[in-house]
Amino acid sequence: MKGKVINMNKPVTFSIVVPVYNEAEVLDNTYERLKSVMDSTGETYELIFVNDGSSDDSIHMLKSLAQSDPTVKCINFSRNFGHQIAITAGTDYAAGKAIVVIDADLQDPPELILDMAEKWREGYDVVYAVRTKREGETFFKKQTASMFYRILRRLTDVDIPVDTGDFRLMDRKVVHELNKLKEKNPFVRGLVSWLGFKQTAVYYERHERLAGETKYPLKKMLKLSLDGITSFSFQPLKLASYSGIVLSAIGFIYAFIVVCMKLFTTSTITGWSSMIILQCMFSGFILIILGAVGEYIGRIYDEVKDRPLYIIDGKYGFEEQRQAAAPQRHIM
Ligand code: UDP
Ligand code: MG
């Protein structure tokens, strides 16, 4: 069964995938806005909410939405697995001809889906949303995010667009390929770029989240950045060999100078403090490199263990036969 994506849901034109983690304060608004935008298309659609182990009221709200509205579907994780994995589960279960991933906090305006759909009809397979401006986020978040996208671009050969999150529309054939990728620490936006196909951008200004706080504390941001870099670049590993070469060259030059000074001058060489400084600098440097190697080894370990990517506690609003078709990535 592994590696094969079975989708027995009734086909619809659009699937909207919404990862949800403690978003009870905004869910009703998000649902209303998505609904009115999708109704205005006149096409069939489904709204797939993935509850990523919320500890607030989100799951109860989603369950009752799934009961009262046949377009709403809900996947309930057994615990918090993370934003990227919630997106992956959503795309695994999406039945649409076009699949849109959008945040639950309305920072990604649902109205932009209409522009995305238009580009899709023009023949593009992926339409990603680029943030021209970010509002209501801390200076630190804006600066680190902007730096991260640029560093990642430098480090990798894959054409990963800058200032672009996971808000995008993908054609069925792209999602079909995406679902075959079985990475344990997925960096979805990078994987979609890696897949290729005909991609284009739409631009938007990112507003403040409607309510609540960011669900991406520094720890999660760091994990996402490391996943992005380690999945798409070996450069940090190369850093060890390059810097090793440079540092030993400096060492040899310095040794040569010391010998010359000893032979041709009378000056004595003192330098306990410089020894200590060098000692600290180089051991620090070696540990950093070791840490970088560790990041890759940890991820190899995750792949080898081959645990399921997510565990589902329950699904709501899906058809019966869908449940019978054992999904490929998780254990019920
Ligand atoms: N999210 C999630 N699991 C997590 C963290 C976040 O599903 O562990 C969801 C969250 O509910 C939201 C989206 O991912 O729909 C983006 O999170 P958030 O808006 O907090 O990130 P930010 O916009 O601050 O970067
Ligand atoms: Mg947000």
Q: What is the pTM of this model?
A: 0.83
Q: How far apart are CA 181 and CA 305, in angstroms?
A: 16
Distance 18 CA to ligand 1 centre (A): 10
Q: Is the CB of 20 under 6 A from ligand 1?
A: yes
The response to whether residue 52 sits with its C-beta less than 6 Å from ligand 1 reads: yes
23 C-beta closer than 6 A to ligand 1:
yes
pLDDT tens per residue across span 115-171? 999 999 999 999 999 988 877 778 888 888 888 888 888 888 888 898 889 999 999
pLDDT digit string, tens, across residues 187-225: 999 999 999 999 999 999 888 887 888 888 888 888 988
Query: How far, in Å, is the centroid of ligand 1 from the Cα of 198?
Result: 27
Which residue owns the Cα nearest ligand 1 atom 8?
82
Which ligand does the CA of 80 lie closest to? 1
| Ligand index nearest the alpha carbon of residue 148 | 1
Q: Which of 26, 27, 105 to mutate to test the pocket of ligand 1 (most atoms within 8 A of CB)?
A: 105
The domain over range 14-233+308-331 is classified in CATH as 3.90.1170.50? no
Residue ranges per domain, the chain? Answer: 14-233+308-331, 235-305
Q: Is the pLDDT of residue 331 over 60?
A: no
User: Which band of pLDDT confidence, cut at 50, 70 and 90, is reported for residue 8?
Assistant: low
